[in-house]
Amino acid sequence: MVAEKGTISINTENIFPIIKKFLYSDHEIFLRELVSNAVDATQKLKKLASMGEFNGELGDLTIKVSVDKEAKTITISDKGIGMSADDIKKYINQIAFSGAKEFLEKYKDTPDTNQIIGQFGLGFYSAFMVSENVEIISKSFRDDAPARWICDGSTEFEITEAEKAERGTDIILHVAADSEEFLDNFRISGILEKYAKFLPVEIEFDGKVINNPNPIWTKSPSELTDEDYKAFYKELYPFGEEPLFWIHLNVDYPFNLTGVLYFPKIKKDFQLNRDKVQLYSRQVFITDDVKDVVPEFLQMLHGVIDSPDIPLNVSRSYLQADGNVKKINSHITKKVADKLQEIFRNDRTGFEEKWESVGVFVKYGIVSDDKFYDRAKEFILLKNVESKHFTLDEYREKVQAIQTNKDESVVFLYANDVNQQDAFIASAKKREYDVLVMDSPLDAHFINALESKLEKTTFKRVDSDSIDKLIDKGLNLESVLSDDEKKKVEELFKEVAGANTIQLESLPADEVPVTIVQPEFMRRWKDMQRISGQGD
Ligand code: ADP
Ligand code: MG
């Protein structure tokens, strides 16, 4: 075959500089795209072999990535189906370039390039973001003559016959001067680590296989042990603490989704974790920004979700409106609730032990997702100052038995600072009233949400003026102060404490004689003002 020169049929002459500009901040994805293509070509060959349409020797199918600093090239070699000269003309000149053309037509007038970067899969064409010239040397599994194609990203290409003994494709990138950062082994191994870690075909770089082609989410839960799940967690987050438990997702209708979600231990002063849920599409890493796919309250979970049905190359707003994404969202919520319910029913003690962490998710879920309460109401736990846990029903029953003023709603007393409210807790206990601990950053919202869900139930902080209204235990309340002394003390405290209600209780001698209380509604009103930046 003589060298054939040709023009790719795109009207715009200067397509390359424009695309290069558009994709500027996301250049590294060229490697994701080219390695994915190598994987696709390999999988296609395996598929043909399994269908009896390829009877040759499959041999070692490892994909090899290499960097030649001197020659300034990066090469991606596979032993997949390969391409003949005609295949290249069809699949590269026409199809790959038409993607680029479509991209250009769609976005050439978009002023804000950041919005579109990385959302458009440019596949093969993305090679030109980092290359002066891109060369393909390929031999098809069909035994056609090997072919060599070279192109500088403009619409001009050259195609010739090539020397290549083995089946498969070498993509040789002649790296452009402004992209020489990619000739660094560290850089390349970093990119591969990010995008290719779980690709289904072995990938070799620097003499080592860099991926795990059979990650656990591709296997059936029945093949896996707890140790497998823990080991995979370590693989994902080498510095993470052991997870509390996990959920293996496996759906094939009405959408395709697999994955493993882990509940991490959450520290009391929890900060948003940097270990995030990772989103894959057929084992290719896409993003760890799963905002629209995973419900907000579950974004503190860890693990992996893989779905070919999540549209990845479209804009955010499209993703939010996408029917599949919404279904995936509610499926994940349901799975998480089912799992928690299962643990609660089968191992209540274990569940209570994990409540410190699990409670954060559950409370956040109840606060942020209206429907989650119904799924969770059976296993929402309340903890009292003796560190005993109760379900909502259990606690209601307990309080109803103690509370003597039956006409009002049931009152759940709580402390949000056990040390500071020590005297109030002691005085409630003296009257055999129970006190909950509500001291996490989420609890104020959690309380509001529960009040709106539970019928005739109110939460009152233990230092509100309610304890004596709730209960009359007939204690022998001989005050240590005379009436005169009381009056003096009352005035003194009013002066110091301003408008707060002063309650001089007739307390037994072993209790503090004076408490300053504030009605619950007053206190909450002040809290609200503080949150909105007014008040003190
Ligand atoms: P996509 O992968 O979405 O089809 P690409 O632009 O990445 O789009 O690739 C275009 C086409 O070029 C592929 O569909 C495939 O037919 C062909 N191709 C690309 N790389 C290879 C390869 N390494 N081996 C065989 N065919 C390839
Ligand atoms: Mg591709």
Q: Is 81 in the pocket of ligand 1 (CB under 6 A)?
A: yes
Q: Is 420 annotated as a binding residue?
A: no
CB atoms within 10 A of CB 345: 11
* Averaged pLDDT, 439-449: 89
Ligand 1 centre distance from Cα of residue 316 (Å): 26
What are the strands, taking DSSP E only, across 381-444?
Answer: 381-383, 389-391, 410-415, 435-437
Q: Is 100 in the pocket of ligand 1 (CB under 6 A)?
A: no
Q: Is 463 in the pocket of ligand 1 (CB under 6 A)?
A: no
**Per-residue pLDDT at 26:** 73
Q: Is 474 annotated as a binding residue?
A: no
Q: Is 157 in the pocket of ligand 1 (CB under 6 A)?
A: no
The atom number, within ligand 1, closest to the CA of 99 reads 6
pLDDT in tens, 474-518: 554 555 667 787 778 777 777 776 656 656 555 554 566 566 667
- Classify the complex by whether its ipTM is higher than 0.85, answering yes or no: yes
Q: Is 37 annotated as a binding residue?
A: yes
For residue 269, pLDDT over 90 is answered with no
Confidence band, pLDDT 50/70/90 cuts, at residue 314: very low
**Per-residue pLDDT at 65:** 98
Burial pattern 111-124, b for ≥16 Cβ within 10 A else e, equals eeeeebbbbbbbbb
Mean pLDDT of the chain: 83
Confidence band, pLDDT 50/70/90 cuts, at residue 330: confident
Q: Is 324 annotated as a binding residue?
A: no
Q: Is 123 in the pocket of ligand 1 (CB under 6 A)?
A: yes
pLDDT in tens, 337-350: 999 999 999 999 99
User: In whole angstroms, what is the distance from residue 219 CA to residue 179 CA?
Assistant: 39
Ligand 1 centre distance from Cα of residue 170 (Å): 12
**Per-residue pLDDT at 113:** 46
Q: Is 99 in the pocket of ligand 1 (CB under 6 A)?
A: yes
Pocket test for ligand 1, best of 37, 64, 93 (most atoms within 8 A of CB): 37
User: In whole angstroms, what is the distance from residue 326 CA to residue 310 CA?
Assistant: 10
The atom number, within ligand 1, closest to the CA of 78 reads 23
User: In whole angstroms, what is the distance from residue 251 CA to residue 446 CA?
Assistant: 32
The atom number, within ligand 1, closest to the CA of 76 reads 23
For helices 29-50 and 185-195, the axis angle rounded to 10 degrees is 60
Q: Is 189 annotated as a binding residue?
A: no
**Per-residue pLDDT at 251:** 87
Nearest CA to ligand 1 atom 12: 91
Nearest CA to ligand 1 atom 17: 91
Reported as type and span, the H/E element at residue 359 is: helix 348-368
Q: pLDDT: is 473 or 283 the higher one?
A: 283
pLDDT in tens, 103-120: 666 666 655 444 443 445
pLDDT in tens, 7-23: 766 554 556 656 665 55
The atom number, within ligand 1, closest to the CA of 125 reads 6
Q: Is 124 in the pocket of ligand 1 (CB under 6 A)?
A: yes
Burial class (CB in 10 A: 0-12, 13-18, 19+), 232: buried
Q: Is 37 in the pocket of ligand 1 (CB under 6 A)?
A: yes
pLDDT in tens, 395-410: 999 988 888 776 678 8
Contact 82, 168 (CB under 8 A): yes
In 3D space, the residue among 132, 92, 90, 106 whose CA is nearest the CA of residue 12 turns out to be 106
Which listed ligand is nearest to 88 at the C-alpha? 1
Pocket test for ligand 1, best of 124, 138, 142 (most atoms within 8 A of CB): 124
**Per-residue pLDDT at 82:** 97
Cis peptide upstream of residue 200 (ω within 30 degrees of 0): no
| Bridge partners (DSSP) listed for residue 248 | 260
The atom number, within ligand 1, closest to the CA of 80 reads 24
* Averaged pLDDT, 128-138: 94
Confidence band, pLDDT 50/70/90 cuts, at residue 299: confident
Question: Cα angle at 283 between 279 and 286, to 5 degrees?
Answer: 35
Ligand 1 centre distance from Cα of residue 516 (Å): 75
Confidence band, pLDDT 50/70/90 cuts, at residue 312: low
Burial pattern 420-446, b for ≥16 Cβ within 10 A else e, equals ebeebbbbbebbebbbbbbebebbbeb
Confidence band, pLDDT 50/70/90 cuts, at residue 211: very high
For residue 442, pLDDT over 90 is answered with no
Ligand 1 centre distance from Cα of residue 40 (Å): 8
Q: Is 316 annotated as a binding residue?
A: yes
Q: pLDDT: is 4 or 361 the higher one?
A: 361
Nearest CA to ligand 1 atom 19: 37
**Per-residue pLDDT at 114:** 42
Confidence band, pLDDT 50/70/90 cuts, at residue 203: very high
Kindly tell me the sign of the dihedral angle through the C-alpha atoms of 304, 308, 314, 317.
negative
Ligand 1 centre distance from Cα of residue 311 (Å): 19
Q: Is 98 in the pocket of ligand 1 (CB under 6 A)?
A: no
**Per-residue pLDDT at 309:** 78
**Per-residue pLDDT at 117:** 39
Written as six digits, the tokens of 309 are 């049905």
Place of tokens 């009040």: 451
For residue 528, pLDDT over 50 is answered with yes
Q: pLDDT: is 390 or 403 the higher one?
A: 390
Ligand 2 centre distance from Cα of residue 37 (Å): 5
Q: pLDDT: is 134 or 357 the higher one?
A: 134
**Per-residue pLDDT at 209:** 97
Q: Is 78 annotated as a binding residue?
A: yes
Q: Is 120 annotated as a binding residue?
A: yes
Q: Is 34 in the pocket of ligand 1 (CB under 6 A)?
A: no
Q: Is 91 in the pocket of ligand 1 (CB under 6 A)?
A: yes
